[in-house]
Amino acid sequence: MAVAIPTRYCGRCGAPLAPGAGFCGRCGTPVLMQAAPPPPAYRYAPAPPAYPTAGQARLGGVLIAGGLILVLLVVGLVVGGIAVSQIGRGGPTTCTVNCPPKFVAPLPEQASFTSTAYKFQVNYSSRWTVRDQNAAGVTLGTRVGLVQVTGSKGPSPEQALQATISALPTSKWQDVTPLHGLRGARIGDVDGVGEIYSANLVGSSQTAAKVRIAVIAAAKGGVTVVVLASDPADPKGSPNGFPEGQEVDYLCTEFVWGS
């Protein structure tokens, strides 16, 4: 049985050598140099697929959807936390810059009375009615009580205040008791004195009702003006127990002294 002679290759360029050849037929290198086997063929790793498989596509979609849900949850928690903090502080803070206009109830249209004897002017709510008037002053009926404005010459504000209380008829004004002084008492642009009283007011049915009396007196240019106001007593719901205190303050603020 014949033995196969293995093929030899040129150790320099790798070309196959003819049996018994002394030189390489390609590059002329002597065969005496050790012939090397042919270089191994280089195999490249297979390229990854250009597109994901169906399983990978489904997994990617699930991850994207989960990420969106997580983002929405975080946003919801942040917004909820802000809302809770606002509620805990009692609502939004008060606007101080570039605020929208506020809608408030306008003051009622005013009416006025002018004393022919002392030239002062009394401005009051047009919803009040005139019960009596003369050269020295006016008596007004309010929503639930009355206001009397009277001018005189000579007495000091303190004397005029006490004289006004002493002149109240006891058949109608009973148990008149001073409660406390009235701070910040003013008539127009003049500081004065003021006092709050409690009393029982006897009505036409001879039934007495608890009332509050506020008296303010001030003087300017030799003229002393006294403002007496009376309202049903409301010690729990109104400052000084006087429900129409704001309207009386308005009258005193808008008062105009005669020149």
177 has pLDDT over 70? yes
d(CA 199, CA 211): 5
In three-state secondary structure terms, 252 is helix
225 has pLDDT over 50? yes
83 has pLDDT over 70? no
d(CA 198, CA 178): 6
52 has pLDDT over 60? no
227: number of Cβ within 10 Å: 25
Residue 243's pLDDT is what? 93
Residue 69's pLDDT is what? 78
Identify the residue whose tokens are 């979609």.
61
d(CA 149, CA 136): 8
Lowest mean pLDDT of 93-102, 148-157, 185-194, 202-211, name the range. Answer: 93-102
7 has pLDDT over 80? no
Average pLDDT, the chain: 81
This model's pTM is above 0.85 = no
Question: b vs e for 142-170, b when ≥16 Cβ sit within 10 Å of the residue's Cβ?
Answer: beebbbbbbbbeebebeebbbebbeebee
d(CA 118, CA 214): 23
Average pLDDT over residues 192-211: 91
Q: Provide the edge-to-edge strand list for the sheet that holds 223-232.
A: 129-133, 137-141, 146-153, 223-232, 208-220, 193-202, 173-181
Residues of the chain with CATH 3.40.1000: 115-254
104 has pLDDT over 50? no
Residue 12's pLDDT is what? 78
Model pLDDT for residues 61-74, shown as the tens digit of each residue: 666 767 777 777 77
* Burial class, 254, CB count within 10 angstroms (exposed 0-12 / middle 13-18 / buried 19+): middle
**Domain 115-254: top CATH class:** alpha beta
Cα→Cα distances 23→7, 9, 26, 39, 208, Å: 15, 11, 9, 20, 148
